[in-house]
Amino acid sequence: DMMRGFLAGVAALALAGCSTTAMQAPEPAAIVTQSMPETMASMDPSDSILFWSDERRSAAFRDMEGLFPGLEVAQTGPVRALPRGTALASGAQAALRAFMAETDAAGLMVLRDGRVVFEDYALGFGPEGRWTSFSVAKSFTSTLLGAAIADGAIESVDQPVVEILPALAGTAYDGVTVGQIATMTSGVAWNEDYTDPNSDVAKMLAVAPVAGESQAITYARTLTREAPAGEKWVYKTLETNLLGLIVEEATGRSLADYAGEKIARPAGFAGNLFWMQDLTGGNIGGCCLSLRLSDYARFGQFVLEGGEGVVPQDWFAQATAPSVPFENAPGFGYGYQWWTYPGAYGAQGIFGQAITLVPEENLVVAVVSNWPTATSNANRNAFRALIARLAADQPSRE
Is it the case that residue 21 has pLDDT exceeding 60?
Answer: no
Q: Is 285 helix (H, G, I), strand (E, B) or coil?
A: coil
**Which strand (E) or helix (H) includes residue 31?**
none
**Which strand (E) or helix (H) includes residue 78?**
none
- pLDDT recorded at residue 393: 86
DSSP designation for 89: P
Do residues 62 and 351 make contact, with C-beta atoms less than 8 angstroms apart?
Answer: no
For 298-318, how does the pLDDT look when each residue is reduced to its tens digit (9 = 90+)?
999 999 999 999 999 999 999
Do residues 244 and 140 make contact, with C-beta atoms less than 8 angstroms apart?
Answer: no
For 241-279, how does the pLDDT look when each residue is reduced to its tens digit (9 = 90+)?
999 999 999 999 999 999 999 999 999 999 999 999 999
Longest dimension (CA), the chain: 62
For 99-121, how does the pLDDT look when each residue is reduced to its tens digit (9 = 90+)?
999 999 999 999 999 999 999 99
Rounded mean pLDDT, 319-336: 96
Strand boundaries in the chain, DSSP class E = 32-35, 70-73, 105-112, 115-121, 131-132, 273-276, 289-291, 324-325, 333-334, 339-341, 344-349, 353-358, 363-369
**Domain limits, the chain:** 2-85+93-392
With CA atoms as reference, report the closest residue to 307 among 350, 366, 232, 357: 357
Is it the case that residue 23 has pLDDT exceeding 50?
Answer: no
The CATH superfamily label for domain 2-85+93-392 reads DD-peptidase/beta-lactamase superfamily (3.40.710.10)
Distance, in Å, from the CA atom of 377 to the CA atom of 331, rounded to the nearest integer, reads 17
For 166-223, how does the pLDDT look when each residue is reduced to its tens digit (9 = 90+)?
999 999 999 999 999 999 999 999 999 999 999 999 999 999 999 999 999 999 999 9
Q: Phi and psi of 108, rounded to 5°? A: -145, 130
Distance, in Å, from the CA atom of 19 to the CA atom of 245, rounded to the nearest integer, reads 17
User: Residue 8's pLDDT band (boundaries 50, 70, 90)?
Assistant: very low
Rounded mean pLDDT, 89-100: 97
pTM, whole model, 2 decimals? 0.92
Burial degree of 212 (CB within 10 A; 0-12, 13-18, 19+): exposed
Rounded mean pLDDT, 28-54: 85
Cα dist from 108 to 43, 105, 233, 340, 367, whole Å: 30, 7, 31, 20, 4
With CA atoms as reference, report the closest residue to 65 among 282, 276, 369: 276
Helix 237-251 vs helix 136-150: crossing angle, to nearest 10: 30
Cα dist from 285 to 124, 134, 186, 377, whole Å: 28, 10, 17, 25
With CA atoms as reference, report the closest residue to 348 among 218, 203, 237: 237
